[in-house]
């Protein structure tokens, strides 16, 4: 089985722009979660989608949004980028809801905001 893929792997944007990141889960997995990793902050939960519905949301501003398509692929959007949004964004999939289950992570998208 192919693993979780994320595109693009690297991205450079300027403040005020918006960005869309993409995640393709493992085939058959219905849950996709997004995390932000910054130095010293670990992995911070953004949101989880399951069967096209947002099931959980972390403590991030409304500039961060996401969606999931019928084929379970997911996109994450960040609008009005700020310098502090520079981070590694990780996507993870699991067969069932993430809680109580192992998640499979993609390699991440490294976003740099200048």
Partner 1 sequence: DQQVKQNSPSLSVQEGRISILNCDYTNSMFDYFLWYKKYPAEGPTFLISISSIKDKNEDGRFTVFLNKSAKHLSLHIVPSQPGDSAVYFCAASGIRDDKIIFGKGTRLHILP
Neighbours of 28 (CB within 10 A): 9
CB of 59 to partner 1, least distance (A): 10
Q: Does 25 bind partner 1 (CB under 8 A)?
A: no
Under 8 Å between Cβ of 18 and 81? yes
From candidates 32, 90, 111, 113, binder to partner 1 by CB under 8 A: 90
Closer residue to partner 1 (CB): 49 or 81: 49
**3 contacts: CB under 8 Å, gap ≥ 6:** 26, 104, 106
Residues 54 and 46: their CA atoms lie apart, in Å, by 11
Interface with partner 1, residue 98, by CB under 8 A: yes
Residues from 52 through 71 that contact partner 1 (CB under 8 A): 55-58
Longest dimension (CA), the chain: 38
Q: Binding residues for partner 1, per CB under 8 A?
A: 4, 33, 35, 40-45, 48, 55-58, 90, 92, 96-108
């Amino acid at each position: 089985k192919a693993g979780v893929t994320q595109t693009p792997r690297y991205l450079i944007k300027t403040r005020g722009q918006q960005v869309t990141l993409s995640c393709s889960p493992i085939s058959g997995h219905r849950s996709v979660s997004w995390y932000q990793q910054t130095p010293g902050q670990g992995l911070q939960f953004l949101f989880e989608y399951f069967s096209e519905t947002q099931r959980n949301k972390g403590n991030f501003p409304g500039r961060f949004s996401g969606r999931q398509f019928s084929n379970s692929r997911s996109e994450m959007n960040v609008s009005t980028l700020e310098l502090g949004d520079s981070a590694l964004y990780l996507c993870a999939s699991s067969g069932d809801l993430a809680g109580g289950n192992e998640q499979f992570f993609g390699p991440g998208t490294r976003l740099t905001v200048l």
